[in-house]
């Protein structure tokens, strides 16, 4: 932590305030001084400089432990500071609260000043996400643009456009600041890119620092599209290009793919079969692109022509090929199968939702019999039968390079099985499909085998297991496979439900209570209405290994909320939980907040659908507090802080999995190495007591 001797002179922050757009500089100066005094009373001193060093992986800045106080100010303009990982701060736009129109002008002014100051002076900020409908975006784009232009540490900017931002030219003002951001590497533009912003986008590309660009809707205007296209063609730094809509508006796609030597990843969405063919033809002699993703063909689209696929066979650079919901059909799959027989470059191939059918899938299986470099193949939603499953089982058992084959949902009859002499252990954990009872029994046997010294015999792939089954599978089979998983599996994804909900919940609960290895649990296709999620939450209260849990149900009814509160009161390992949505308010919300107030480990409670900000604010405050606690503990363990607060934080979390996980992510070291770091820090702490 920086000491007072290194504080920023008060005159400097006053001068900065007066430089901001205002009608009366003296009034602005007085307001800022009053604002600083109020923050200081809450433990935040804006005169303290950023302690983040250039290229440091862990934030040493005081701001990371004061997120809750700062967010109470920023919420008036729908902004929030978050830690995406320990010490990695992001300034993001959030859904506006209902109280936004009731806040005084002084609150809006304070928040706007604080945003500009953080952007201008804090190197600990790495990501900025702004929405075109935010008050700050619409009312003071120049102030934000100036702060962005002076920032040299932010590496990622995401701008969500709106009609009002386009109408007021606010978006073009902000985009104009991007070329001056010395650290900017990734840019995402969500919404329709208008002509007024094209110059800023092109200048950012020409600056030669941008490595990743996402454009959700490529310009429809021909002149604007041509300008961006020329800038893309000339860019020597851009390695990743993603266009979600409007790829057909890119006039220089063909020369871009033929001549650009910097681009490594290309992803285009809403592409016709004809455009897919053009891309494949262009890549025949491209030596740079390593990952290609084409997805979502228009309705009633023509199939991908086979001639360009045969031309693509000459390519020797693409390692990852993903086609999603493209009309590849059986003919296209068979053409790719012929290509894969001789290809030695491709490592991952996905044809999900491409209607490859049995003929196409069997041809791909035959290709896998001779291919020695492909490690992953995905054929989800490809309309295949059980005969294809048998073919892939036999091929995968002999192909040692194939690490994962995903066949998705296949209606395997309950009496379907392979001969007894087939060695299922050679494919267990590598082939994913909706198994019948025989398949689950085979997986259970593989997981139950032990080495002579009593250790599980399963391969590393089986440690991360994804289980799906048909609707007719018996509960006994599910019980056996989950019981066997308790002694080996580290990450488990359950992608199916069962008609016997009570028995299903009991089977998962038994696994959670007995396991000594499971770290991550994902349960899909299960709603909040049945007994499964409450049973699982109850079992997690007795579990001491799971750090992350994801549920497809919502946090809505008392049936789910009560066991979750009970879980978070006693469990000190689980630090990340995800649900589908959040529907609590009033007294149920108050009880939930009161119930989890004592938990100091939970740092991530996320939802697939963003909940209302105002109702969730008490919950976010608990998470902000816990994240600040974790940041202090990490910095203490790494010798970056040794104050009273950081010492107390480390003392609270020293034996927790959340601290080890955060240290592993921050340092890149193994869990064993991080345990040594914690042990050493504990030793140093005991010497001072």
Mean pLDDT (whole number) for 518-542: 91
Quick check: 421 and 446 in contact, CB under 8 A?
no
Dump pLDDT digits (tens) for 364-396.
999 999 999 999 999 999 889 999 999 999 999
Least confident interval from 160-174, 204-218, 472-486, 628-642: 160-174
Which tens digit of pLDDT belongs to each residue from 264-319? 999 999 999 999 999 999 999 899 999 999 999 998 889 999 999 999 999 999 99
Q: pLDDT-based confidence at 459, cuts 50/70/90? A: low
Rounded Cα–Cα distance for residues 476 and 469 (Å): 13
* pLDDT tens string 547-561: 999 999 888 888 999
Residues 6+ apart with CB under 8 A from 230: 202, 252
Most confident of 62-71, 465-474, 606-615: 465-474
Q: What is the pLDDT of residues 332-357, one digit of tens each?
A: 999 999 999 999 999 999 999 999 99
The domains of the chain are located at: 1-155, 618-689
pLDDT at 5: 43
Residues 6+ apart with CB under 8 A from 400: none
Residue 301 dihedral angles phi and psi, to the nearest 5°: -80, 155
- Whether this prediction's pTM lies above 0.85 is answered by yes
- pLDDT surpassing 60 at residue 510: yes
Confidence class for position 105, pLDDT limits 50, 70, 90: low
Q: How far, in Å, CA of 614 to CA of 412, rounded? A: 48
Per-residue pLDDT band at 194 (split at 50, 70, 90): confident
Are 266 and 232 within 8 A, CB to CB?
A: no
Highest mean pLDDT among 7-11, 344-348, 420-424, 681-685: 344-348
CA distance 306 to 596: 58
pLDDT at 585 over 60: yes
Residues 6 or more apart whose Cβ sits within 8 Å of residue 683: none
What is the residue-averaged pLDDT of the chain? 87
pLDDT of 164 strictly over 70: no
Predicted pLDDT of residue 101: 52
Q: Looking at per-residue confidence, does 16 or 123 come out higher?
A: 123
Please state which of the ranges 47-61, 178-192, 238-252, 487-501 shows the lowest mean pLDDT.
Answer: 47-61
Cα 560 to Cα 151, 243, 530, 584, distances in angstroms: 45, 40, 9, 11
Residues 6+ apart with CB under 8 A from 270: 244, 245, 246, 247, 295, 296, 297, 298
pLDDT surpasses 90 at 57: no
Q: What is the token pair recorded at 422?
A: 């087939």
Cβ distance 174 to 148 under 8 Å?
A: yes
- The distance of Cα 624 from the centroid of its chain, to the nearest Å, equals 19
Q: What is the pLDDT of residue 49?
A: 86
Per the DSSP assignment, residues forming a β-bridge with 130 are 159
């Amino acid at each position: 932590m920086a000491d007072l001797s290194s504080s920023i002179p008060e005159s400097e922050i006053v001068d900065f305030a007066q430089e901001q757009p205002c009608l009366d500089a003296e009034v602005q100066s007085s307001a800022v001084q009053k604002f600083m005094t109020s923050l200081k009373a809450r433990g935040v001193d804006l005169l303290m400089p950023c302690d983040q060093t250039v290229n440091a992986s862990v934030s040493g800045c005081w701001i990371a432990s004061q997120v809750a106080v700062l967010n109470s100010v920023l919420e008036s303009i729908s902004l929030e500071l978050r830690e995406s990982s320990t010490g990695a701060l992001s300034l993001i736009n959030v859904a506006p609260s209902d109280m936004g129109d009731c806040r005084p002008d002084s609150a809006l002014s304070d928040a706007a000043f604080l945003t500009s100051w953080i952007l201008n002076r804090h190197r600990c900020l790495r990501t900025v996400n702004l929405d075109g409908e935010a008050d700050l975006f619409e009312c003071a784009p120049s102030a934000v643009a100036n702060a962005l232009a002076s920032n040299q540490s932010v590496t990622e900017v995401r701008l969500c456009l709106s009609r009002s931002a386009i109408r007021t030219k606010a978006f073009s003002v902000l985009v104009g600041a991007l070329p001056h951001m010395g650290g900017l590497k990734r840019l995402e533009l969500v919404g329709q890119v208008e002509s007024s912003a094209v110059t800023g986008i092109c200048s950012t590309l020409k600056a030669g620092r941008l490595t990743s660009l996402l454009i959700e809707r490529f310009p429809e205007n021909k002149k604007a599209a041509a300008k961006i296209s020329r800038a893309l063609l000339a860019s020597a730094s851009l390695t990743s290009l993603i266009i979600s809509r409007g790829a057909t508006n890119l006039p220089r796609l063909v020369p871009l793919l033929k001549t650009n030597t910097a681009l490594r990843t290309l992803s285009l969405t809403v592409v016709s079969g004809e455009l897919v063919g053009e891309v494949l033809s262009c890549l025949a002699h491209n030596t740079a692109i390593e990952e290609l993703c084409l997805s979502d063909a228009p309705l009633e689209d023509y199939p991908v022509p086979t001639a360009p696929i045969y031309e693509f066979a000459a390519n020797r650079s693409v390692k990852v090929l993903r086609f999603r919901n493209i009309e590849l059909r059986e003919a296209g799959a068979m053409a790719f199968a012929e290509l894969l027989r001789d290809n030695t470059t491709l490592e991952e191939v996905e044809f999900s939702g491409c209607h490859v059918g049995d003929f196409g899938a069997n041809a791909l299986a035959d290709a896998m019999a001779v291919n020695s470099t492909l490690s992953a193949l995905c054929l989800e939603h490809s309309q295949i039968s059980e005969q294809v499953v048998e073919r892939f089982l036999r091929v995968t058992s002999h192909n040692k390079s194939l690490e994962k084959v995903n066949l998705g949902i296949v209606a395997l009859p309950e009496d379907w099985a392979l001969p007894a002499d087939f060695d299922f252990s050679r494919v267990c954990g590598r082939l994913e499909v909706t198994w019948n009872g025989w398949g689950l029994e085979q997986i259970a046997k593989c997981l139950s085998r032990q080495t002579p010294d009593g250790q599980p015999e399963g391969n590393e792939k089986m440690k991360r297991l994804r289980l799906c089954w048909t609707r007719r599978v018996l509960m006994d089979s599910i019980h056996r496979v989950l019981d066997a998983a308790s002694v080996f599996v580290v990450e488990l994804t359950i992608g199916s439900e069962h008609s016997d909900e009570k028995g299903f919940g009991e089977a998962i609960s038994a696994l959670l209570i007995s396991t000594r290895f499971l770290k991550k649990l994902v349960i899909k296709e299960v709603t909040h209405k049945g007994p499964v999620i409450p049973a699982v939450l109850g079992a997690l209260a007795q579990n001491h290994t799971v750090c992350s849990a994801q549920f497809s149900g919502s946090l809505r009814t008392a049936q789910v909320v009560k066991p979750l509160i009970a879980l978070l009161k006693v469990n000190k390992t689980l630090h990340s939980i995800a649900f589908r949505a959040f529907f609590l308010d009033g007294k149920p919300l108050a009880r939930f907040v009161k119930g989890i107030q004592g938990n100091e480990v939970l740092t991530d409670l996320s939802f697939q659908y963003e909940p209302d900000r105002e109702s969730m604010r008490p919950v976010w405050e608990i998470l902000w507090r816990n994240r600040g606690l974790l940041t202090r503990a990490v910095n203490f363990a790494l010798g970056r802080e040794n104050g009273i607060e950081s010492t107390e934080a480390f003392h609270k979390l020293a034996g927790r999995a959340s601290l080890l996980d955060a240290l592993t992510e921050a340092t890149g070291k193994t869990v064993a190495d991080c345990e040594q770091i914690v042990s050493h820090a504990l030793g140093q702490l005991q010497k001072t007591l």
